[in-house]
């Protein structure tokens, strides 16, 4: 099994700040976003976040989650993707021939304010996954009531659910019930 790279773990955590099943969102406020970024060492805890920066983050997350859903066969909403692309244009990244100022050849533009610099780090992580093809291993669970993002470590990259025990069984149970209902309905004599 291939372990998820740091960029995948960061994007997975970012995408999973919204929990569809529980109806919760860690980033539902600027304070929540500040706390999340601070927990990952991407922003000083006392740093304030304005509504524009918060909106920028939510657009980026929505587009990434939408793209990850497309990886497992869901149709992607082009408006959410476009919103994320617009957000990315507001987060300039520099490319260096060598290692740049960070761990790789990509780094947030030095003149970005701290919150946008942190969001640019998320953009860089997404870019790394996309350029290496590893974004295909990061998927959103096919169980629509779940939609949890997970790293697909299977050899052939065919995993569809975050958990076969829970979400996979739910889907299979629904299919079985539908087949049973169909069989029952088709064998009922017409009156």
Distances (CA, A) of 158 to 16, 34, 93, 152: 20, 35, 33, 8
Q: Identify the pLDDT of residue 191.
A: 45
Q: Do you know the residue count of the chain?
A: 191
Bridge pairing between strands 149-151 and 138-140: antiparallel
Residue range 140-164: mean pLDDT, rounded = 84
Q: Which domain holds residue 41?
A: 6-160
pLDDT band, residue 162 (cuts 50/70/90): confident
Q: Is 45 helix (H, G, I), strand (E, B) or coil?
A: coil
**This model's pTM is above 0.85:** no
pLDDT surpasses 50 at 158: yes
Residue with tokens 């955590």: 13
Quote the CA–CA distance of 135 and 160 in Å, as a whole number: 14
Residue 188 lies in a domain: no
pLDDT surpasses 80 at 134: yes
Domains held by the chain: number:
1
Residues 6+ apart with CB under 8 A from 130: none
Quote the CA–CA distance of 43 and 51 in Å, as a whole number: 16
Residue 79 lies in a domain: yes
In angstroms, how far is CA 6 from the centroid of its own chain? 14
Residue 167 lies in a domain: no
Tell me which of 173 and 109 has the higher pLDDT.
109
Q: Identify the pLDDT of residue 144.
A: 81
Residue with tokens 């209902």: 181
Residue 113 lies in a domain: yes
Q: Identify the pLDDT of residue 123.
A: 97
Residue 128 lies in a domain: yes
Residue 178 lies in a domain: no
110: domain CATH number is: 1.10.3300.10
Tell me which of 143 and 137 has the higher pLDDT.
137
Q: Determine contact, residues 56/74, Cβ cutoff 8 Å.
A: no
Residue 86 lies in a domain: yes
pLDDT surpasses 90 at 168: no
pLDDT per residue over 31-74, tens digit each? 999 999 999 999 998 889 999 999 999 999 999 999 998 755 55
pLDDT surpasses 80 at 177: no
Residue 101 lies in a domain: yes
Tell me which of 164 and 136 has the higher pLDDT.
136
Tell me which of 121 and 101 has the higher pLDDT.
121
């Amino acid at each position: 099994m291939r372990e998820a790279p740091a960029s995948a773990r960061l994007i997975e955590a970012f995408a999973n700040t919204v929990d569809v099943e529980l109806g919760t969102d860690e980033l539902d406020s600027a304070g929540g976003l500040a706390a999340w970024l601070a927990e990952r060492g991407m922003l000083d805890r006392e740093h304030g976040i304005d509504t524009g920066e918060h909106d920028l983050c939510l657009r980026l997350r929505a587009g990434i989650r939408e793209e990850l859903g497309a990886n497992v066969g869901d149709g992607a909403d082009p408006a959410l993707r476009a919103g994320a692309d617009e957000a990315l244009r507001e987060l300039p990244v520099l490319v260096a021939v060598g290692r740049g100022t960070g761990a790789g050849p990509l780094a947030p533009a030095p003149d970005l304010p701290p919150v946008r610099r942190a969001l640019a780090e998320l953009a860089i992580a997404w870019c790394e996954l996309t350029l290496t093809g590893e974004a295909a291993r990061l998927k959103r669970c096919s169980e629509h009531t779940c939609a949890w993002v997970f790293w697909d470590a299977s050899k052939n990259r065919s995993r569809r659910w975050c958990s076969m025990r829970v979400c996979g069984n739910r889907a299979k149970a629904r299919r079985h019930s539908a087949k049973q209902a169909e069989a029952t309905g088709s064998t009922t004599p017409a009156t």
